[in-house]
């Protein structure tokens, strides 16, 4: 294996490896605007130990492509009684069914426990 092949192999491994945050933290919403539920000036209390959709609610997710993370933002997810997963893409009730997070291009970064907004 030559030096360029090794560099390419390392780059490919780093692109697929996920380094995850853990614990609960306050995160500025910044560009994660999501309908009326999350505004740019809000703070999000995020549980980064949540790495899958375990209950209905608001999640901080990454939009993943073959090249890596394309974007990060909030999305509301819901499971029906039969276990089917749905996502509200806009925060305005634009629900659609998704067969899986991976198929929809999502990766869960954390569960949004609370949205704090200045009065």
pLDDT tens for residues 8-20? 444 454 455 557 7
Give the whole-angstrom CA distance, residue 61 versus residue 72: 6
Quick: pLDDT tens for 50-107.
999 999 999 999 999 888 888 999 999 999 999 899 999 999 999 999 988 988 999 9
Q: Residue 3 is inside which H or E element, if any?
A: helix 3-16
Sign, CA torsion 91/94/98/104: negative
Cα(58)–Cα(4) distance, integer angstroms? 43
- For residue 18, the model assigns a pLDDT of 58
Q: What is the pTM of this model?
A: 0.80
- Cα torsion 21, 54, 60, 25 to 10°: value is -40
Q: Given a cut of 80, is residue 3 above it in pLDDT? A: no
């Amino acid at each position: 294996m030559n030096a360029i092949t090794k560099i390419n192999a390392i780059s490919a491994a780093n692109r697929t490896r996920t380094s995850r945050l853990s614990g609960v933290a306050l995160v500025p919403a910044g560009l994660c605007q999501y309908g009326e539920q999350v505004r740019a000036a809000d703070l999000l209390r995020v549980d980064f130990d949540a790495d899958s959709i375990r209950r209905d609610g608001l999640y901080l997710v990454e939009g993943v492509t073959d090249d890596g993370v394309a974007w990060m933002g909030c999305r509301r997810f819901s499971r029906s009684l039969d276990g089917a997963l749905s996502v509200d893409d806009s925060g305005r009730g634009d629900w659609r069914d998704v067969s899986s997070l991976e198929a929809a291009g999502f990766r869960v970064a954390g569960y949004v426990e609370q949205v704090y907004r200045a009065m």
